[in-house]
Chains A and B, each alone.
Chain A
Amino acid sequence: MRSATFALLLLLAAVPAHAGSDGQSYDQISRGRYLATLGDCAACHTVPGGPPYAGGRALETPFGTLLAPNLTPDRETGIGAWSDDEFIAAVREGQGRNGHLYPAMPYPYYTKMSRDDVLAIRDYLATLEPVTNKVVANQLPFPFSMRFTLSMWNGINFTSGRFQPVQGKSEEWNRGAYLVEGAGHCGACHTSKNFLGGDHTGSALEGGVLQGWFAPNITGDPHVGVGGWSADDIVAYLLTGHNRMSAATGPMAEVVTDQTSQMSPQDLQAIAVYLKDTGDQSNPAPTPIAASDPVMQKGQAVYIDQCTACHGAAGDGIPSLIPSLKGSSSIQSADTTSLRRIVMEGARSVATDPAPTGAAMPSFGWKLSREQIAAVLTYIRNSWGNSAAAVAP
């Protein structure tokens, strides 16, 4: 609420109006603030603990480091001197004042946003305290440091264009699609990337690996996506970080804290409706590995000895405290990056005001051998109705 109060104060002190937008309207600024949350701009443009949107936060990409620019109204080091069109071009086309923007800025997603929405964000940003912070965004090594190469990247990986509602789908579905494919930029993590870092658009939202985590499939796939979740389950997860069988952890914890927990239940419901209608909703689960398999037997012994005290003999966890392994789509994912990481290092579930407990799983890497970990992961992936490929040590 602090920024909103500030916005009010600045309004009283003659904020310069922007052509074509209603920069003095509290409603507009509020809407812009909400949209900035939807886009999770702060996740990159605010250094944790630092002044809001003043930039300088480092982003590690597979190609090197980038620093997110200063979005405060400072005229020299921020975007105070930019025109509306320049701002819109940056957000939706990846066109900066001084050349192409790197797609770490998710313009391939934001391109779907409407002009009104983007300008509302601008109006909100204009109410922030101007901060002098000169950011040299481009910290990449040669040849990635050559911005002009991005025109080639864009040629392959970027299609500019506004969101087009799909005929025959409900308003709610289309709102969800607009949020997911646009400001929400979920595919930035949840869609796998080609070697250039562009999306595999053919497998959109079917999962992607980044920062050593596997962001799972969030399509309506019933086996490895959210097909088995109700819309209420999805809403609860995004709003509170927890639902009856799962908990957000790793990089998703920050997404919940900064972004989705701040969204309206209606928008979250729209996202849920949309997601459940994507992907291969009839994907049949494979046959589970038999319980008598030697690896399964070994895994069961490890599970009984090490895991049931929290996850339960039936693998069903404790709602809002301990995730359920039974029926878990992320447990059954083909990519086991997150699974291994969680077992080795432990993980903490996100704490939100409605679900503040924030229980954590301890690390097992020092305790279990590679064989034990592979066996127990194979076991949980193929028990209680789960089925997935075995995990190799």
Chain B
Amino acid sequence: MSIPRRDLLAGAALSLIFSVTPAQARTIVGALPWEPDTATPPLPVKEGSWQFFTADEAAAVEAIVDRLIPPDPETPGGKEAGCAVFIDRQLAGSYGSARRLYMRPPFMDGTPEQGPQSPLTPAMRYRLGLAALDKHCRQAYGEKSFAQLTDEQKDKVLTGMQKGPITFAGTSATGLFEQLLTNTREGFFADPAYGGNRDMVGWKMIGFPGARYDYRDWIDRHNERFPLPPIGIGGIRA
């Protein structure tokens, strides 16, 4: 399978992120199979139009990620780091559709130890949840969307979703919050190819060198700061 060059259009690239190599029964005899020029790296997300979110949903999510990880003088917040873009692309792909998960019925509630039993895929949860969130904000704050609230109001809503007392009709407010928190962090710290952690701001914040692979010159250098900038899978230093 030959690999598209870096200038591949984002649209075509998306379906290849997380795609499994086409499943074909394969008989191996006599030699290790190998072909030149094969690779399945994550194809870099390209900025542009939203692939999953509507404009309103995107506005809400951008505002949310900027409260979950607010900007400060040293490090951008979730929005500038691209967390909403990350989430959008994830929801448009196999993560959003829960394609890899066991989604067969019957769906029954169980104990916390038995794990999530919801038939909602992440994509559904966002769709339903963001609609419910919007409804809540308009009811509670005089026809304002989440993005239009003040920072204090936003934090109050988020806390209310996280710990109660805010509930949504027909979908779990806490469930949406936890989904958002998880995905926002993922977007902040995953490889920039996925659309978040722009310019590796998340990694720079903590001092994580990124996609490096050889620390033999450093294993004996105890308690020393590692000086090199982070690099991403895309091959460029921050």
Q: Which residues of A contact B34 (CB under 8 A)?
A: 348, 358, 360
**Which of B82-90, B97-105, B134-142, B209-217 forms contacts with chain A?**
B209-217
Q: Which residues of A contact B222 (CB under 8 A)?
A: none
Provide the B137-153 mask, 1 if CB < 8 A to any CB of A, else 0. Answer: 00000000000000000
Which listed residue (B5, B216, B231) contacts A365, Cβ 8 A?
Answer: B5
Contact B37 A344 (CB under 8 A): yes
A345 contacts chain B at the CB level, 8 A cutoff: yes
Contact A345 B37 (CB under 8 A): yes
Q: Which residue of B is nearest A49, CB measured?
A: B30
Q: Which residue of B is nearest A250, CB measured?
A: B36
Given contacts A305-B235, A367-B41, contact A358 B32 (CB under 8 A): yes
Beta-carbon contacts under 8 Å, B220-238 to A: 228, 231, 233-235, 237
**Which of A108-116, A228-236, A278-286, A306-314 forms contacts with chain B?**
A306-314
Given contacts A313-B216, A313-B217, A351-B31, contact A366 B228 (CB under 8 A): no
B23 contacts chain A at the CB level, 8 A cutoff: no
Which listed residue (A346, A348, A358, A366) contacts B6, Cβ 8 A?
Answer: A366
Query: How far is B209's CA from A309's CA once the two chains are assembled, in angstroms?
Result: 15
B residues near A (Cβ < 8 Å) are 3-6, 31-32, 34, 36-39, 41, 212-214, 216-217, 228, 231, 233-235, 237
Q: Which residues of A contact B237 (CB under 8 A)?
A: 301, 305
A160 contacts chain B at the CB level, 8 A cutoff: no
Beta-carbon contacts under 8 Å, A325-372 to B: 344-348, 351, 358, 360, 362-369, 372
Q: Which residue of A is nearest B38, CB measured?
A: A363
Q: Which residues of A contact B234 (CB under 8 A)?
A: 367
A304 contacts chain B at the CB level, 8 A cutoff: yes
Query: How far is B237's CA from A301's CA once the two chains are assembled, in angstroms?
Result: 9
Beta-carbon contacts under 8 Å, A267-325 to B: 301-302, 304-306, 308-309, 313
Q: Which residue of B is nearest A367, CB measured?
A: B235
Contact B214 A368 (CB under 8 A): no
Contact B216 A306 (CB under 8 A): no
Query: How far is B212's CA from A304's CA once the two chains are assembled, in angstroms?
Result: 9
Q: Which residues of B contact A308 (CB under 8 A)?
A: 214, 216
Number of A positions contacting B (CB below 8 A) = 25
Contact B214 A362 (CB under 8 A): no
Q: Which residue of B is nearest A356, CB measured?
A: B32
Query: How far is B234's CA from A358's CA once the two chains are assembled, in angstroms?
Result: 27
Q: Which residues of A contact B235 (CB under 8 A)?
A: 302, 305-306, 364, 367-369, 372
Contact A305 B212 (CB under 8 A): yes
Q: Which residue of A is nearest B234, CB measured?
A: A367
Q: Which residue of A is nearest B43, CB measured?
A: A366
Q: Which residues of B contact A309 (CB under 8 A)?
A: 213-214
Given contacts A301-B237, A308-B214, A372-B235, contact A362 B31 (CB under 8 A): no
Contact A366 B41 (CB under 8 A): yes
Query: How far is B213's CA from A313's CA once the two chains are assembled, in angstroms?
Result: 12
Contact B39 A362 (CB under 8 A): yes
Query: How far is B65's CA from A340's CA once the two chains are assembled, in angstroms?
Result: 43
Query: How far is B34's CA from A362's CA once the two chains are assembled, in angstroms?
Result: 11
Q: Which residue of A is nearest B216, CB measured?
A: A313
Query: How far is B63's CA from A215's CA once the two chains are assembled, in angstroms?
Result: 59
In the assembled complex, the CB of A59 is this many whole angstroms from the nearest CB of chain B, namely 20
Contact A345 B36 (CB under 8 A): yes
Which listed residue (B3, B216, B217, B231) contacts A366, Cβ 8 A?
Answer: B3
Contact A346 B41 (CB under 8 A): no
Which listed residue (B31, B36, B213, B233) contacts A363, Cβ 8 A?
Answer: B36
Which listed residue (A313, A344, A366, A372) contacts B4, Cβ 8 A?
Answer: A366
Q: A306-B235, A366-B5 are in contact. List 5 more A-B contacts (CB 8 A).
A: A304-B228, A305-B212, A345-B36, A364-B235, A366-B41
Query: How far is B228's CA from A369's CA once the two chains are assembled, in angstroms?
Result: 21
Query: How far is B211's CA from A306's CA once the two chains are assembled, in angstroms?
Result: 9
Q: Which residue of B is nearest A302, CB measured?
A: B235
Q: Which residues of B contact A363 (CB under 8 A)?
A: 3, 36-39
Query: How far is B1's CA from A363's CA once the two chains are assembled, in angstroms?
Result: 12
Q: Which residues of A contact B228 (CB under 8 A)?
A: 304
Which listed residue (A344, A360, A367) contacts B233, Cβ 8 A?
Answer: A367
Given contacts A366-B41, A367-B233, A368-B235, contact A346 B36 (CB under 8 A): yes
Q: Which residue of B is nearest A257, CB measured?
A: B31
In the assembled complex, the CB of B84 is this many whole angstroms from the nearest CB of chain A, namely 26
Most B CB atoms within 10 A — which of A360, A366, A368? A366
Task: Give me 18 A-to-B residue pairs in the complex whose CB atoms sit less than 8 angstroms apart, sorted by A's number.
Answer: A301-B237, A302-B235, A305-B212, A305-B235, A308-B216, A309-B213, A309-B214, A345-B36, A345-B37, A346-B39, A348-B34, A351-B31, A363-B37, A363-B38, A365-B3, A365-B37, A367-B233, A372-B235
